[in-house]
Structure 1
Amino acid sequence: MKKEGMCILGKVAKAGVGLSLAMAALPAAQATEAKISDNLVKIGVLTDMSGPYSDFSGAGAVTAAQMAVEDFQKANPDFKTPIELVSADHQNKIDVGMARANSWFDVDKVDVITELVTSNIALAVSKIAADKNRVALVSGAASLPLTNEQCNKNTVHWVYDTYSLSNGTAKYVLDSGKKNWYFITVNYTFGGAMMDAAGKVIEKNNGKIVGSSKHPLNSTDFSSYLLNAQQSNADVIALANGGQDTITAVKQAAEFGITQSKQSILPMVMFINDIHALGLDAAQGLMLTEGFYWDRDDKTRDWSERYYAKTNKMPSMGQAGVYSSVINYLDAIKQTGTDEADKVMAYLKSKEIDDGLFKGKIREDGKFAHDMLLLEVKKPGESKRPWDYYHIKGVISAEDANLPLSESKCHLVTKR
């Protein structure tokens, strides 16, 4: 297992050294802060640091969490309790992720784990957090069961899920008249959940799935899957994968001439980092749905430019979600005077969230319901500056972007 990292005021410290992002609390600290366990707020960023999801998550997610801590401390100088940030690579392995989560909660007294890209790891860690009465704030994973069949009172799904992506991109393409779909799907929890969610949208809109192929995570050769998709004569070849898998599949589809054919390549989940890696020549015209775009308005631009100064790239929606989740979590601790999970979660669910990056409300099932953006990748000649990649084709309201509570299978939802 790779060693975890510990971030102190923007610098990385050696694992096992007990440092924090703030000076130790003084004896005269506020009485309410005495309710914070161990007189320390400890945040863990558990993510893919080296695999197929590391570009839109990874070290950039740690930077986003660090920025949230720094911004919170700057805005709240009266909050004297130390805040410590630790990070680790789960290597996209369930056993590694679960071991790290258990160790953080039991030994290192971590209060909250955030990011959690890779759905099977997010689902496992979410359960551990609930069992140990700690908090999980999921930013990078997409699986709908996190707030549906496998929901719990200690988890918030912050940025996007398979339902929001399907009701954005898939519905738009179906409305354009493309009804026959072929899926190339990554063979783990996320891929199945994405295909299932999209399938419901396809069926509802008089379309059909005419075939599918499954591939292992982090594949390098999609030729056989693409050949099967071509031969199906489907209108749409949907990619129910993510990260490097999506990038590789799109590149190879271009080599096969599919992107110049009548068949449409449709990534069901894609990040701005993927577009950057592909380049506009290869990515132009792709449709996708995201929960955040750096160039949407003045507030997103201001924060993203600060992030760029630290990382030399613009943030993904997952990285923006880490910042949002951490700064709202810290605000909840300040407002309640405790890091006790039940009280923090009750506060988070009671308020309207508007932090400049996301605006919405956390529902009883743990889903942070906010608007999503329907995006089209620009042609090279339409891009005016670096990272100027998207036309915003529409805004999908929070109501339309999230599974209706009336259809929820979450045991926390009050049946009306």
Structure 2
Amino acid sequence: WADDTYALSAGLVGELSRRVGKEWFFVAVDYSFGSAMVKDASRAVTDTGGKVIGAVRYPFNTTDFSSFLLAAQSSGAKVVALAGTGADTVNAVKQTHEFGLQQGGQTIVGMLTFISDVHSIGLRDAQGMYIASQYYWDDDDGTRAFAKRFIEIEKREPTKLQAATYAAVRHYLKAIEAGGSDEAKAVNAEMRKLPVDFFGRPAHIRKDGRVVYDLSLYRVKKPDESKYPWDYYQKIAAIPGDKAFRPEGTGGCKLDK
């Protein structure tokens, strides 16, 4: 129900290669997630006629990104993509400003960035960064309705992963109610029969279990563009689900044969 490295690469890279630049440099965390993201994103860059100038890998929980960001800066790549998570992303983005990457004309992309990360970074340093997401709390009436209930309890806006988890559990419980059983196979079948409501937007469950919906490309706002708390994203483009997610039959799932 959440996005994955393929979707974040195929959707985000495709749009940005056309809009921002075709020369990419990756700063990736050195474990399986970082490797998968760089692999999928590099393929997407090539598919759009772009070029991967280089890539560096850093240890998880790094606090000093100076050598990695200097390598990205000296590469001259138009786009510097950060393939990390959490505190790594927060620290890396803050340090891109210290070294003047944006001032030098490079665009920063957060390959897997949550709104909580942007909140921690602050708009002064996060402004201009691009991200892709299937959920942003202030997109429309459907996303705002869920966010209103969430913030009453958590006192902060939901991330895209929290939204996806909610959508999955809600659909699962609706299937139990509709079918009158919590037996796994029965619920599975019922989930596939019921229409999927992804915060008011259409979605569907494929044979291999992947839930398909549209993603969006966002640019993080400048401080003077933000009008109220958590007003962080400007939508740049919609990314159709059939273009963002891995094509059915190519993921190696034994159920998809």
Work out whether the TM-score is over 0.5.
yes
- TM-score, with normalisation over the residues of structure 1? 0.59
Name the structure 2 match of 1:166.
9
Name the structure 1 match of 2:255.
412
Contact 1:292 1:358 in 2 (8 A): no
Question: 1:168 & 1:187 partners in 2: Cα distance?
Answer: 23
Deviations 1:32-58 (A, max 9, x none): xxxxxxxxxxxxxxxxxxxxxxxxxxx
| From 273, 298, 302, the counterpart of 2:145 | 302
Question: Structure 1 pair 270/330, CA: closer, same or farther in 2 (3 Å)?
Answer: same
Name the structure 2 match of 1:201.
44
Name the structure 2 match of 1:113.
none
Aligned length: 257
Name the structure 2 match of 1:262.
105
- TM-score, with normalisation over the residues of structure 2? 0.94
Contact 1:333 1:344 in 2 (8 A): yes
Give percent identity, aligned residues only. Answer: 42
Deviations 1:50-69 (A, max 9, x none): xxxxxxxxxxxxxxxxxxxx
Deviation at 1:410, TM superposition (A): 2.0
Contact 1:295 1:388 in 2 (8 A): yes
Question: 2:68 & 2:85 partners in 1: Cα distance?
Answer: 16
Name the structure 1 match of 2:131.
288
Deviation at 1:358, TM superposition (A): 5.3
Unaligned runs of 5+ in 1: 1-157
| From 95, 114, 137, the counterpart of 1:252 | 95
3-state SS of the aligned residue for 1:260?
coil
Question: 1:357 & 1:245 partners in 2: Cα distance?
Answer: 33
Unaligned runs of 5+ in 2: none
Question: Structure 1 pair 178/411, CA: closer, same or farther in 2 (3 Å)?
Answer: same
Q: How does 1:10-409 map to 2 (within 5 A)?
A: 158-176=1-19, 178-356=21-199, 359-409=202-252
- Comparing 309-318 with 216-225, greater Cα deviation is found at 216-225
Question: 2:201 & 2:184 partners in 1: Cα distance?
Answer: 22
Answer with 1 or 2: which has the greater Rg: 1
Contact 1:272 1:316 in 2 (8 A): yes
Root mean square deviation of aligned Cα: 1.6
Deviations 1:154-185 (A, max 9, x none): xxxx1211122112221122113522221111
Which stretches of structure 1, 4 residues or more, deviate above 3 A after TM superposition?
none
3-state SS of the aligned residue for 1:347?
helix
Question: 1:386 & 1:177 partners in 2: Cα distance?
Answer: 28
Contact 2:29 2:60 in 1 (8 A): yes
Contact 1:183 1:238 in 2 (8 A): yes
Contact 1:320 1:357 in 2 (8 A): no
